[in-house]
Amino acid sequence: MSSAPDLAALVRGAGLRVTRPRLAVLQAVHDRPHADTDAVIGATRDLLGEVSHQAVYDVLRALTGAGLIRRIQPAGSVARYEARVGDNHHHVVCRDCGAIADVDCAVGHTPCLVASEDHGFVIDEAEVVYWGRCTECRDLTAPTGPDRP
């Protein structure tokens, strides 16, 4: 685990006990933005050896609850985890392959980020998911041959 001391300080600073599974899961999420649970389990096992699915799920829940990682789940996707927390960034998702990338907050006129009615809530975050097709998926279906403009 390359940055274990920094990760240990993050875990300790969040009021959690520092354990090898917590450090390994946090390292896995830091190394693999938008990783699904299976990818986190695999990476954690690469770092620690055998670790149960339940242990990883428990650690993901604890780290998410402590604000050290963020759980996202775009429509039609499994839960994904990322270490970028503390800002209100958004995501773009490929409709074909499911690739996910971060998008900083919307710029310019953003009427949809201001709720027309707050229903008594104190709103502190807006979640926006942009949908489209990534470069690789577009390239796979791009026309080829002499008829291509």
Which is nearest to 11 in space by CA: 51, 56, 68? 68
CA dihedral over 116, 120, 125, 126, signed as positive or negative: negative
Q: Which of 134, 127, 80, 135 is nearest to 105 (CA)?
A: 127
Looking at residue 110, its pLDDT comes to: 67
- Residue 111 has a pLDDT of 64
d(CA 144, CA 127): 38
Domain ranges of the chain: 4-72, 87-140
Whether residue 4 has pLDDT greater than 80: no
* CATH (one of 1.10.10.10, 1.10.10.60, 3.40.50.2000, 3.30.530.20) for 4-72: 1.10.10.10
| 132 strand-pairing partners | 94
The model's confidence at residue 147, banded by pLDDT at 50, 70 and 90, is low
Categorize the per-residue pLDDT at 148 as very low, low, confident or very high, splitting at 50, 70 and 90. very low
pLDDT of 96-109, one tens digit each? Answer: 999 999 998 777 76
C-alpha span between 149 and 136 (Å, rounded):
19
Specify the fold of 87-140: Dna Ligase; domain 1 (3.30.1490)
Nearest to 131 by CA among 80, 102, 103, 94: 94
Q: 43-77 burial string, b = 16+ CB within 10 Å, else e?
A: bbeebbeebeeebbeebbebbbebebbbebebeee
pLDDT of 41-96, one tens digit each? 999 999 999 999 999 999 999 999 999 999 999 998 899 999 999 887 899 999 99
pLDDT at 143: 66
| Secondary element (H or E) of residue 36 | strand 35-36
Per-residue pLDDT of 14-42, as tens digits, reads 999 999 999 999 999 999 999 999 999 99
Task: Please tell me the distance from the alpha carbon of residue 99 to that of residue 133, in angstroms, as a whole number.
Answer: 9
5: pLDDT strictly greater than 60? no
